[in-house]
Amino acid sequence: MNIKIKMHSELDCPLKPDMNLIQQAVKDMVNSDRFDNQRLSTLCWHAGTLCGMHDKLETIKTEIKNTTLPKAKQALIERKNALIDEFDKKLEWTLAYIVDCGGGSYYHYKFDMHFNRIVAGLMGSTCYMKETFDELQNKGIDNILAIAKTVEKNGHHSCFGHAHLTLELSGIPKALAMVLNNESEYNTSEKSARYTVMTDIDPEENELFEKWKSILSQEIDEKYGKCQPFFDAKGIKVGKLAQENARYMISVFTPSNMVYTTSLRQLNYLAKWFEDVIADENANVFYQGIKNEMQEFVDFVKNNNLYSEALTDSKDRKLSLFGTGILKEVISNPVYAFKYNASFACLAQLQRHRTINYNINEAVFMDNFLNNTDCYIPPILKSDSRLTSAWRIDMLKVKTHLPQGMLIPIIENGQIEDFRLKAMERNCSCAQKEIRDLTKAYSGRISGSLFQDLMEVDLNLKKHPGNPDLLSIKENTQALYDQFSILKQRARCNAGYDCKSPCGFKDGIRLESEV
């Protein structure tokens, strides 16, 4: 796996320089062969003088803390202020000399932990500021870093959540992408296995992928090839759908490419959670398969000076992809909790709906893997028992690879309103068949539960007629019930969604197509 920073946050304000910046700039210039030796020698001398002044300043600060005599303390404060003025002038002169030497680009802050502490210090300063934002940014870097040190040490890590960076992850296993995408704080764009051909596929998996892509193309074309314009005359749509279904044979560890944006705080939390998994000798088979890539991720964070020991999640959280089951399903406006089986490929689609929580029941997952692996079978194949049997046999051949078609026990919970928003995306002929069928089925379950809620509200209204709270609940529940009553049987285009590209595919609009 290859990781690099694609872009990152920058402060839209000038920052005063500090010794860390000068030292790094001089170091970079000395290590380069672009600069005149005599000037570099002069620069190093002034940088050394600055270091001495900085150390002396730190000593005076310590003396001020330890001095109890008022007159002595005041004298030290005056010495400190005079030294600060002298130090600032020398710092500005040194910066000007760096530019004069031709090294102007060398004294900019890098996006590393030092810079992000400055950012966090500035953000933290706003909580206590008496000044304006313009005055805050002119504070000395030492003052800003003192605030950063406090918030970092005391767990006020939201100050480190303002700066974001985008990582370019090449060759990332699909499994690790799913781990990242199950956490809430991110934006991601990933190579699609639905629409693009994946590379670096295991030879055995690739053979099965090509075999079933050919079979599925024939089956889909035979049943739907003439259903135009949704299925084009050139067979491009047929090929894409065949590929989408054939990829169930490919391992969840297949390398992919993605860009991933998150905050510096979350980046550190992820690194710590990855370290926990890496250290766990009893980690499940899914995590075992990506420990090396997790270590690469941690190494990248540390090697780029983006890692802080103090930026550790204090809420006792861990990676959220695996969890425990639920005793029973719950559907009662405004919340719900479901448990069902779906494929890895389907879960990857479900994760796109980040307002909803998903995890894999770890105990059942491991039991299934060891004893009773089942798989998703594309409905287009189910009318032919020979094809169904052949699909199962081939899926078992790659069982130990964790194929994307392996059925896994999923727990889903969230707000009913958020499920409605999901249904307004997935109840569509263009959506993946598996997630479309799940969404349709559970829309029906929600519709039935909302009907029961309405009857209960009506009973309460008989006891408390005109109660404003009950009337509001009834109005909200009735609106949801009306919409789910449509979503349980028809596509979103018949449920109030304004489709800009009508497909004209009748089976798809009725949610009855087999692809």
Label residue 155 left, alpha or beta by phi (over 0 means left) and psi (-120 to 50 means alpha): left
State the Cα–Cα distance between residues 237 and 515, nearest whole angstrom: 11
pLDDT of residue 194: 64
Query: What percent of the chain has pLDDT above 90?
Result: 69
Mean pLDDT of the chain: 91
Domain spans of the chain? 164-315, 323-509
Laid out side by side, the sheet with 164-173 consists of: 2-8, 164-173, 255-263, 187-190
Confidence label for 140 from pLDDT (cuts 50, 70 and 90) = confident
> pLDDT tens, 468-494?
999 999 999 999 999 999 999 989 998
So what's the pLDDT on residue 196? 66
Q: What is the pLDDT of residues 40-95, one digit of tens each?
A: 888 889 888 988 998 998 899 899 989 989 999 999 999 999 998 898 888 888 88
pLDDT above 90 (res 23): no
Q: Are 56 and 91 in contact (CB under 8 A)?
A: no
Q: Based on C-alpha coordinates, what's the Rg of the chain?
A: 30
- Is the distance from CB of 164 to CB of 262 less than 8 angstroms? yes
Query: Which of the residue ranges 127-141, 202-216, 465-479 would you say has the lowest mean pLDDT?
Result: 127-141
Ranking 25-29, 144-148, 306-310, 499-503 by mean pLDDT, the lowest is 25-29
**Distant-in-sequence, close-in-space partners of 61: CB < 8 Å, separation ≥ 6:** 80
Whole-number pLDDT of residue 195: 63
Q: How far apart are CA 213 and CA 340, in angstroms?
A: 27
Least confident piece of the model among 12-26, 394-408, 415-429, 457-471: 12-26
pLDDT of residue 420: 96
pLDDT band for position 394 (50/70/90)?
very high
* pLDDT of res. 193: 65
pLDDT digits (tens, 9 = 90+) for 220-255: 999 999 999 999 988 999 999 999 999 999 999 999
Residue 155: what pLDDT? 85
List pLDDT tens digits, range 261-281: 999 999 999 999 999 999 999
**In the predicted structure, residue 449 carries a pLDDT above the cut 80:** yes
Supply the CATH classification number for the domain 323-509: 3.30.70.3180
Burial of 39 (0-12, 13-18, 19+ CB in 10 A): middle
Q: What is the pLDDT of residue 263?
A: 96
> Cβ atoms within 10 A of the Cβ of 410, count?
22
pLDDT in the model for residue 96: 83
- Looking at residue 306, its pLDDT comes to 97
0.85 exceeded by pTM: yes
pLDDT of res. 312 = 93
Instruction: Summarize the chain as % helix, strand, coil (round to 5).
Output: 55, 10, 30
Q: How confident is the model at residue 424 (pLDDT cuts 50, 70, 90)?
A: very high
The yes-or-no verdict on residue 4 having pLDDT over 70 is yes
Q: What is the pLDDT of residue 87?
A: 87
> Quick one: how far is CA 315 from the chain centroid?
19
Q: What count of other Cβ atoms lies within 10 Å of the Cβ of residue 89?
A: 10
Q: What pLDDT sits at residue 77?
A: 92
Per the model's pLDDT, the better-predicted residue between 186 and 138 turns out to be 186
pLDDT tens profile 158-195: 999 999 999 999 999 999 999 999 998 889 998 776 66
Q: For 421-434, what is the mean pLDDT?
A: 95
Distance CA 7, CA 285 (A): 34
